Amino acid sequence: MIAERRDFSRAEREDSYCRLLAGASGWRALESVMELRLPELLTKRGPLTADEIVVALSLHPQRGRKWLLALCHLGLLEEALDPGLLPARYRAGPMMRAFWHEDGAMGFFYRDFLRFWRTSHAFDLVQVIRGLPVPQVPYPPESLEEAQLLEQWMRDTASETVETIERAITFEGIERLLDVAGGDGTMAIHYAQRYPQLHVTIFNLPNSAYLARQNISRAGVADRVSVVEGDFRHDPLPQGIQLVQFSRVLADWPEEVCQMLLTKAWQALAPGGRVLICEPLADDNPDLTVAWETIYIPYDDFGVGVYKPLASYERLLTQGGFKILQVTRKDRDSTHAVIVAQRLGQRDSPGPI
């Protein structure tokens, strides 16, 4: 017989157990809303009664009403509280408004993340962790089509990331910036257009570099944004840089790869140069961390512990020969933190440089 543990009170134990189950319930509810195109229906017709939704979506009457109630508990729906509208009508709730556009279409990132989530969770987890062979998702992407999909993910969420960085730092005095794995050039183009003194180098794999060059040419900033092809797992980074940026990069790799990349960043930087890390922290984003870490389980190109707490980055930077200057934790407008660290001199470096 297992002795009852007292780490939680009885109420906390029940709440914790139900919270785990509610996460799975939320995923299934989100899927159903997308597949039944409920946001599109509400966009076209406005607030509707339960009967109207049931008929429009061809639902079982009682089960449909239970579903609508569950969506209200999740924040995906809310009642339109107008005393003149009886019976009560349902409209998009705060969660639905956050994930779907005004035309009723789901944002690309959320839609495709749900597809990825569904694929990963379709496998039998017990058999997966025992070694069941599953179709792999190569990372980094190997084909142009795979690179285009990844870069669309990154482009779709780039504005939030750029705003987070610009709230945390200024680019005053920076003339040479290296954007490691800089995607299709979205962030580099923004920097070049906003900061006239800045020259940005993107370092990335050939397929993503190809996409970046196309965007740079269209934006007319080829004189201040350049692209260097390479694989940071094997190749050195361009040298003589004042600021090396890792944005939404280190959270895809385990600590041993991150340590290697920070060593290469140290070598790329001019004396006194700095490294900027913009990533979600595991200790600031527990739900995000669980969501990503669980869908990465079947895919062997992703290492162990890719989402890391602040303490891990602090240790990696210190070991890599950097002095941490600034840490800006996540706020209500972003899931990301920004860490800025300065390259120490060779003699001062405690790391394996």
| Span 121-140, pLDDT tens digits | 999 999 999 999 999 989 99
Residues 194 and 304 in one domain: yes
pLDDT of 83: 64
pLDDT tens-digit readout, 7-59: 778 888 888 888 888 888 999 999 999 999 999 999 999 999 999 999 999 99
Instruction: Give this prediction's pTM.
Output: 0.90
Query: Is the domain of 171 the same as that of 81?
Result: no
pLDDT in tens, 155-185: 998 999 999 999 999 999 999 999 999 999 9
State the Cα–Cα distance between residues 103 and 43, nearest whole angstrom.
Answer: 6
Contact 154, 147 (CB under 8 A): no
Structural domain including 16 reads 10-104
Across 20-34, 107-121, 173-187, 339-353, least confident range? 339-353
Per-residue model confidence (pLDDT) at position 33: 97
Looking at the fold, whether 88 and 150 belong to one and the same domain comes out as: no
Which CATH number is 173's domain given?
Answer: 3.40.50.150
**What are the φ/ψ torsions at residue 225 (nearest 5 degrees)?**
-130, 120
327 and 234, same domain (yes or no): yes
Is 125 inside any structural domain? Answer: no
Rounded CA separation 114/30 (Å)? 9
Same domain for 90 and 149, yes or no, is no
- Residue 286: inside a domain: yes
The two tokens of residue 194 are 């906003």
311-321 average pLDDT score: 97
Average pLDDT, the chain: 92
Choosing from 53, 85, 104, the residue where a domain stops is: 104
Q: What is the mean pLDDT of residues 62-86?
A: 89
Report DSSP letters for 33-66, one per residue. HHHHTHHHHHHHH-SEEHHHHHHHTT--HHHHHH
CATH number of the domain that 81 lies in? 1.10.10.10
What is the number of structural domains in the chain?
Answer: 2
| Residue where a domain stops, chosen among 104, 120, 154 | 104
pLDDT number for residue 3: 52
Give the per-residue pLDDT at 5: 58
Question: pLDDT at residue 346 above 80?
Answer: no
